[in-house]
Amino acid sequence: MNILCIGGGPAGLYFSLLMKKQNPAHQITIVERNRAYDTFGWGVVFSDQTLGNLVNADEQTARSILQSFNHWDDIDTHFKGQVVTSGGHGFCGIGRKRLLNILQERCEELDVKLVFETDVTDDQALALEYDADLVIACDGLNSRVRTRYAQSYQPDIDTRKCRFVWLGTKKLFSAFTFAFEETEHGWFQAHAYQYDGDTATFIVETPEETWEKAGIDKMNQEEAIAFCEKLFAKYLDGNALMSNATHLRGSANWIKFPRIICKNWVHWNQLNGIRVPVVLMGDAAHTAHFSIGSGTKLALEDAIELARSFEKHGTKGMDAVLEAYQDLRSIEVLKIQSAARNSMEWFENVQRYTAMEAPQFAYSMLTRSQRLSHENLRVRDAAYVRSFEHWIAEQAYAKAGLPVPRTKTEIPPMLTPYKLRDVVLKNRIVVSPMAQYSATDGVAGDYHLVHLGSRAMGGAGLVFAEMTCVSADARITPACPGLYAPEHTQAWKRIVDFVHANTDARIAIQLGHAGAKGSTCVAWEGTDQPLKEGNWPLVSASEQEYLPGISQRARAVTTADMQRIQNDFVQASKAAEEAGFDWLELHCAHGYLLSSFISPLTNQREDEYGGSLENRCRFPLQVFAALRAAWPAQKPISVRISAHDWVEGGITPDDAVAIARLFKAAGADMIDCSSGQVSKQEKPVYGRMFQTPFADRIRNEAHIPTIAVGAIFEADHANSIIAAGRADLCAIARPHLADPAWTLHEAARLGFADMPWPKQYVAGKMQLERNLERERQVAAASAGLTPQQVAAKLLEG
């Protein structure tokens, strides 16, 4: 092929040398606007894993790069006068100029044609000049090619909130260093790392609002550098900060990060009657925030994958090659971009976490991307994790008013106690309220005794009964439980008494009113489908059908309805206290009645209960206030909210923080942070722990404890969430359906043997530990053996 690369950055250079290695007959030309062996930038960072990919792709190039790297394992986090060090991270730094020079030299060795000092304004004309069969567009963040063919590529460019500047210094850092400094204008942070024998990159970042308040937007380069030198003087040891962008005037070298995602990476041109693809690569196709150091990594791995696709699928034609490339590579890029987004948003919101003490702040920073979890950190630096777990346990037991128990191993964060009002939970694991559709006339029976009792015996600190309805017409289905008749109270008391007599778990009731989502079939007969007969009238904040054209139409509640419903909630709370529940939760989420008031999607009222967010929250807050007055002062009340409607025009995470503040002011003790189920038009973005960011924001901005829910299914998830201060409790739903003893089993897998186990599970726990030990023995004995040899040994016993 004749291959033309527009842009001589890492992606174009590396792809060219790999393709030339693959087939020396390829005629490859790289066109670069800068001069030969000239570039801008300081250092770039790779992980050890990325280095392994480079070795596999081209060992000779990798060897040259490795010889030029500065390697380190530690991360130092400086915050509030303390430094927290964690090790085992495995980073390498290299000067960007040195990296490009190595790649340029390797291209020249392989007879790739390099054309410098040529600014490409017309890619089609250049493609015709070189008779190109393939055009690679790696012309950077501000890609002209991407702009020209935007209709094909469909780029989504999100310019972010922080201003940052790339600087350098002769101060040498022994670790990747993050430094956080508070000023009268707000917080600034520095990302610093050494990349060669005498130079380090020093990035300074701050929200644009803080940048403007500090007046940097009106400073020239010298003044801004002097400001940064003074702010971070204690880290520089008298060394200056240096700029390599002196050609830019004023504050132009302080930029905002553009997050770029392209739906498609390939555009096809017709040139002289031939279809010629133009393939985006590197920053032209996608960007990942510098806080996880992945921009150059992505560019090089793009090059590796495209070259590999030609090797695997080249005989099938260009379309097959490029389709395979984008299908595979886009998924890997999306993973990195997702992690980078999490990391970027953490740094954009440093203020959110500054109430934390240094150990937890540093842990939160380390795990910000959600790629690095609690157990990942343990593998990297077990001593650091042990020390941090000890610190977390000390804090937790002190707040609970309990002495730290003597244990052989440190206590995992999820197994530390938690106190709210006078209720002490033995650990941070919650069995979520999950509708079971198994009540008869609102009465919870033997099914509920077994369902809730077994999970209370399974080790969780708090077990929630499913949404329990405050009146017969408040039920979701005829099979939902209630608390509006004496027989309901007695049925619940039987279950609560069993939990209290046989376990050390606490048990909670969630009170709710289905609103427009009521009078429906049980799930296995048609979720959200109206009953075939026996429907009851429905009410909502405004007239609506939950499923347009299918659901029964709910009428708008009147003020008389509101008073009756409020009284129903109060009576139900009194019944819950009579039944002995330890904890009460008010359900204001998922499109049920109280949620329908809060969301603008379902509240079109024009009275004092509609319009502004404060007005929309008025009735739910009135109900809450009445509950708080009726419920014992020593027992907590949490509130479940939908923190995101996932529909344009609905509740947003910003709104959720405001809603949490309103409930906090009314006396709420905790916010249970769910999302969605308000409208069938919703488009949630799923993933592991996908709702945890809502709990994080509410906890650390509204300063009220939270429960994290949603796709939390491993102890590692829960430990990471609790340790990082993203939530105070973790609610686990589906895993508890599959395994009532989820908490006990996860604790055993962690090797934590000192948890206070219920006596009924001691024998089972011992057997589980024996099984786990047998698995470890088999694994150890199997090292280096073939699967057949392992099978033979297993047969031998």
- Catalytic residue set: 592
Helices 742-749 & 715-723 angle (0-180, nearest 10): 80
CA 317 to chain centre: 39
* Residues ≥6 apart with Cβ < 8 Å to 191: 176, 177, 178, 201, 202, 203, 205, 290, 291
CA 130, CA 121: separation in Å to the nearest integer? Answer: 15
CA 125, CA 115: separation in Å to the nearest integer? Answer: 16
CA 563, CA 568: separation in Å to the nearest integer? Answer: 9
Token pair 């559709």 is at which residue? 437
Tokens coding 759: 């006596």
CA 621, CA 594: separation in Å to the nearest integer? Answer: 9
Report which of 505, 527, 513 is spatially closest to residue 596, judged by C-alpha positions: 513
CA 333 to chain centre: 16
Helix (H, G, I), strand (E, B) or coil at 674: strand
Tokens coding 576: 């819950």
State how far the alpha carbon of 37 is from the alpha carbons of 12, 87, 99, in Å.
15, 35, 10
Token pair 């020396």 is at which residue? 24
Beta-bridged to residue 95, according to DSSP, are 43
Burial letters 684-716, b for 16+ CB under 10 A, else e? eeeeebbbbbbbbbbbbbbebbbbbbbebbbbb
The identity of residue 56, as a single letter, is N
Beta-bridged to residue 162, according to DSSP, are 207
